[in-house]
Homo-oligomer: A and B are copies of this chain.
């Protein structure tokens, strides 16, 4: 069911500083961060092989990423796996009793359909499924 690691999300306090770190020290081809106000984040991504690293800074402390950093500090936030058919995947997971945060897909960055599995199911790892079909990727 899992085609590839689509991205890793890192929660950071300062996205420009984190982006600069990966650009200078690891040759990452970084781009300007974008603010997504309804999610309370300022984020950017860079490619590593077939995957991406997403650097996410909270724009307010009461956003999900803001609360995450307040509780756990900076660090790994979530992993996103590409799946072929997100509706089928969610139906199968629900059918077999796996607790989901999103029982139906919502629209994420770039218009992709995505959903989160509850981290308590996935051994403490916040796990996103994303379907890229129709995006030409």
Chain A residues within CB distance 8 Å of chain B: 1-5, 8, 10-13, 18, 21, 24-28, 48-51, 55, 72-76, 79, 81-82, 92-93, 96, 98, 119, 121-125
| Contact among B2, B12, B24, B49 with A5 in the assembled complex (CB-CB below 8 Å) | B49
Taken together, the copies of this chain in the complex come to 2
Q: Which residue of B lies closest to A75 (CB)?
A: B124
Q: What are 29 of the A-B contact pairs (CB < 8 Å)?
A: A1-B25, A1-B26, A2-B48, A3-B48, A3-B49, A4-B48, A4-B49, A4-B50, A4-B51, A5-B8, A8-B79, A10-B123, A10-B124, A12-B123, A21-B122, A21-B123, A24-B96, A25-B92, A25-B93, A25-B98, A48-B81, A49-B51, A49-B82, A73-B124, A74-B123, A74-B124, A75-B119, A76-B76, A76-B125
